[in-house]
Structure 1
Amino acid sequence: MTRIDHLAALADLQQRFLDTTRRADPATPIPWLGRWKVEQLVVHLARIHHWAAAQARCEQERPLGRGPFADLPGLYAECAAELRATLAELDPDARAWALVDDGVPRGEQTGTVRFWHRRQLHETLVHLWDLRTAVGEPLGVDGTLSADGTLSADDALGADDAFAADEALWLDCLDEVVTVMHPRQLRLERVPPPAARLVFRPAGADASLALTGAPDGAAEIVIAGPARSLALLAWGRLGLAAEGIEVRGDRDLAAAVLDAGLTP
């Protein structure tokens, strides 16, 4: 997997999210997120950044209040800056409260500050897709991961290199769902063990990613497609009928596993 500088990528995606909030209508609906509109999405990501900064410091966060918030871009900018500053100041290998430790005995906990570098990058990536898609702006090769793992401006990469780097970031996002988020869902008994062994096969990747927890002898279902599409599928943003996704096996069973929720 391409090396990713998660903090550098986080800073870039936060700036893109902030820029988009400044021109987006807060009342724009986001149908795939239920009754949410852009306003709720911006407040949510701001709160998550504020909460994650406290988790990295092993502290309870100071409540931001219920709102409504008059200055949505200002709120987001403040919380995004708090998160970046916190993660930059702390030793990445220092102990932190982290989702990987939920439901794990204290003596076996392994969470560090570094966990939040990656988790908040992917949180921002998915919600940037939500925001851009809701307002009709594509989230494509418009400043994506470069070969050294940092994000680059529009003209810094050729289209082929930028597409490959963009896919590397989405592949990392998919990997986090398979190795962190879904196992946590199982550990906390929020979802039942999957009735089938779901295998994600990203186009161009060296290896597949398989969900854990299926019973011995369970049917295997392979879902193939671009890493971005598979990550958005795992996060509940796309369905199996989305363009570019191919299902090899029982489609209805695959849909049932996905509908149970791979992520919170």
Structure 2
Amino acid sequence: MATDGIRQPDHLAALADWQAQFLETLRRADPATPIPWLAPWTVEKLVVHLARVHHWAAGQARRVQEEPLGRGPFDLPELYAACALEVREALAELDPDARAWALVDDGVPRAEHTGTVRFWHRRQALETLVHLWDLRTAIGEPLDVDAGAWLDCLDELVTVMHPRQLRLGRVEAPAARLVFAPTETDARLEITGSAPSSPEVVLAGPARSLALLAWGRVPLAAAADADDDVEVRGDRALAVAVLGAGLAP
């Protein structure tokens, strides 16, 4: 992927940074605050979810079944801090090139498995980034993250997460060849699975906006809006339909 000099994140360093920001933010957040784009989730549900994901991912990286955390109720900062540290320590300890259970191998014959611990460096960092955005946005606070991180987030959706959804039969092949064109780079990231004859629709805009669209955090308006920073080149209704069907888990 061409990045035109955009700095890509050091995933372990980014994971530690975004986890620290998440923990600091949740300490001042009301657990009952709703997260409308993840309805019926609240801040409490989001925090428990991310803590469970960290705990589970530590086991996946070690190739061991994790011990259940239980159903709660939990002290949210305590739970999150413990699970964040657990996955961070596991990933720092393990050889990045060691074999691991990884999402890239779901639906793939065992002989073709390629998953390593390094997969979880990126997956856990970007999982934390997206949920940090959820948390900050839910309580009305901004999140300042550079374009390289959002470009990486978009690339992972296009090259890893959506292909996995297709392999597992969780989504249907998209009706359009949806292409994301981040304005910070010459990269063109195309959603796979559509027929070669399918019409192409290009979404051009900042990597942050495109990543949030792809991950289902913000909708693509059915009609062009003067305040919209994403340009649609092609059939807007088709793009709305493809995004509305969901690209990610």
Shorter-chain TM-score range: over 0.9
1:76 counterpart = 2:53: no
Match among 134, 142, 146 for residue 138 of structure 1: 142
Equivalent in the alignment of 2:196: 216
1:179-190 equivalent positions in 2, closer than 5 A: 179-190=159-170
Aligned partner of residue 204 in structure 2, secondary structure? strand
Distance, in Å, in 2 between the alignment partners of 1:235 and 1:74 is 28
Structure 1 counterpart of 2:112: 108
Deviation at 1:124, TM superposition (A): 0.3
Aligned to 2:245: 260
1:48-87 matches, within 5 Å, as: 48-69=53-74, 71-87=75-91
Q: Is the 8 A contact 1:6 1:118 kept in 2?
A: yes
Cα distance in 2 for residues equivalent to 1:135 and 1:243: 22
Q: Is the 8 A contact 2:30 2:43 kept in 1?
A: yes
Deviations 1:171-222 (A, max 9, x none): 0000000000000011011111111100000012121100111102110000
1:238 offset after TM fit, Å? 0.8
Distance 2:161 2:63 in 1: 20
| AA at the equivalent of 2:139 | V
Which stretch of the first structure deviates more once superposed, 240-249 or 251-260? 240-249
Q: 1:202 is matched by which residue type in structure 2?
A: P
Give the drift of 1:246: 1.3
Equivalent in the alignment of 2:180: 200
Q: What residue is the counterpart of 1:149 in the other structure? A: none
Greater than 3 Å deviation, 4+ residue runs: none
Q: What TM-score does the superposition give when structure 1 sets the normalisation length?
A: 0.89
In the alignment, residue 46 of structure 1 is paired with which amino acid? A
Partner of residue 232, structure 2: 247
Q: CA offsets per residue over residues 101-125 of structure 1, 9 Å max, x none?
A: 0000000000000000000111000
Deviation sequence 1:126-150 (CA, Å, 0-9, x none):
000000000111112xxx4xxxxxx
Q: Please identify, of 203-212 and 44-53, the stretch whose mean Cα deviation from structure 2 is larger.
A: 203-212
User: Do residues 90 (structure 1) and 94 (structure 2) align?
Assistant: yes
Higher relative contact order, chain-length normalized (CA < 8 Å, sep 6+): 2
User: For 1:235 and 1:204, how far apart are their aligned partners in 2?
Assistant: 19
Higher alpha-carbon deviation: 199-208 or 8-17: 199-208
What are the residue-to-residue correspondences of 1:172-183 with 2, within 5 Å? 172-183=152-163
CA distance in 2 between counterparts of 1:78 and 1:131 reads 19
CA distance in 2, matches of 1:47, 1:236: 21
**What is the DSSP-based 3-state SS (H/G/I as helix, E as strand, rest coil) of the residue aligned with 1:198?**
strand
Distance 1:218 1:247 in 2: 16
Q: Which amino acid aligns with 1:87?
A: L
Shift of 1:257: 1.1
Q: Give me the identity figure in percent.
A: 74
Once the two structures are TM-superposed, the CA of residue 245 in structure 1 deviates from its matched residue by 1.2
The 2-side partners of 1:229 and 1:216 are apart by 27
Q: Which amino acid aligns with 1:167?
A: A
Please give the TM-score of this superposition, normalised by the length of structure 2: 0.94
SS at match of 1:23: coil
Q: Do the aligned partners of 1:55 and 1:96 also contact (CA within 8 Å) in 2?
A: yes
The answer to whether structure 1 residue 118 and structure 2 residue 103 are counterparts is no
RMSD: 1.0
Query: Residue 181 of structure 2: SS of its match in structure 1?
Result: strand
Matched, 1:10 2:15: yes
2:197 corresponds to which letter in structure 1?
G
